[in-house]
């Protein structure tokens, strides 16, 4: 798997290169600013881009703007954003195109190597990997919406796990319920949100996240 990495902190960037390489991922470009990132994405056409939201020179949203520009040329470019803080606006901007292969994680999650690598592979495969805190903030912003407000407490729990990219089996395990019960809750969620259910987990996740990000 070919990876373009954008991270301005040298020690973290070097550590990520070593981590990814040790698990069979090929870092074909490692850059520390938005301009170089955009050039690398166009030149390398990677299987996935792992990008810090805030890059030099302004340390605002250079990383995000670079990947959004790159996705205009290549809408299917898989992107996993990393951020020091919970910033739901960035998640909504990344999801605004309704595309596949997107992720948003807090940098703290990088210390969990297994989870971080799983997120990269999930995004590269066309799935979604959203940080639980980001999902919770997106849901909180929609609390006043009548459709979200109509969800039961259990349905909200299922929706949060679904948005994180969990499978039905994973949701069942996390909530200590059966997969049959999970399927029923998901059906109720889509009905209440006015979303048509789909067979593929990734399509369901993207539909929910697109709704939350509108």
> What pLDDT, on the 0 to 100 scale, is given for residue 209?
59
CA distances from 19 to 38, 86, 124 (A): 23, 24, 17
Highest mean pLDDT among 47-51, 121-125, 140-144, 148-152: 47-51
Q: Name the least confident of 100-109, 130-139, 203-212.
A: 203-212
pLDDT band at 17 (very low <50, low <70, confident <90, very high): very high
Structure tokens at 111: 């210390």
Q: Name the least confident of 39-53, 55-69, 191-205.
A: 191-205
More confident site: 210 or 89: 89
pLDDT band at 96 (very low <50, low <70, confident <90, very high): low
Peptide bond into 20 cis (omega under 30): no
Best CATH choice for the domain 142-213 from the list 1.10.10.10, 3.50.50.60, 1.10.10.60, 1.10.3720.10:
1.10.10.10
pTM above 0.85, yes or no: no
Burial category of 147 from C-beta neighbours within 10 Å (exposed 0-12, middle 13-18, buried 19 and up): middle
**What length does the chain have?**
214
pLDDT of 30 > 80? The answer is yes
Structure tokens at 76: 């299917």
Q: Name the least confident of 119-123, 146-150, 153-157, 180-184.
A: 146-150
pLDDT band at 97 (very low <50, low <70, confident <90, very high): low
CA dihedral for 207, 144, 180, 103, sign (positive or negative): positive
Q: Give the residue extent of every domain in the chain.
A: 2-130, 142-213
More confident site: 201 or 96: 96
Q: Which residues contact 100 (CB under 8 A, 6 or more apart)?
A: 76, 78, 126, 127, 128, 202, 206
Reported as a single tens digit per residue, the pLDDT across 59-93 is: 888 998 899 899 888 888 999 999 887 776 676 67
Domain 2-130 in CATH 3.40.50.2300: yes
């Amino acid at each position: 798997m070919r990876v373009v990495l954008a991270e301005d902190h040298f020690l973290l960037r070097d550590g990520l290169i070593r981590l990814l390489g040790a698990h069979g991922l090929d870092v074909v470009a490692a850059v520390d600013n938005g301009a170089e990132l955009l050039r690398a994405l166009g030149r390398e056409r990677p299987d996935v881009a792992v990008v810090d939201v805030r890059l030099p020179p302004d340390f605002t949203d250079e990383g995000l703007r670079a990947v959004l520009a790159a996705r205009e040329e290549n809408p299917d470019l898989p992107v996993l954003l990393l951020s020091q803080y919970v910033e739901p606006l960035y998640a909504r901007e990344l999801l605004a195109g309704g595309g596949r292969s997107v992720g948003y994680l807090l940098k703290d999650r990088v210390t969990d190597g297994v989870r971080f690598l799983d997120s990269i592979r999930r995004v590269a495969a066309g799935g979604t990997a959203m940080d639980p805190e980001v999902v919770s903030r997106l849901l909180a912003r929609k609390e006043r919406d009548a459709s979200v407000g109509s969800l039961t407490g259990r349905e909200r729990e299922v929706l949060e796990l679904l948005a994180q990219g969990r499978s039905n089996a994973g949701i069942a395990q996390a909530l200590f319920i059966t997969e049959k019960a999970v399927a029923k809750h998901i059906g109720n969620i889509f009905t209440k949100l006015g979303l048509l259910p789909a067979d593929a987990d990734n399509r369901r996740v993207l539909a929910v996240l697109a709704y939350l990000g509108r």
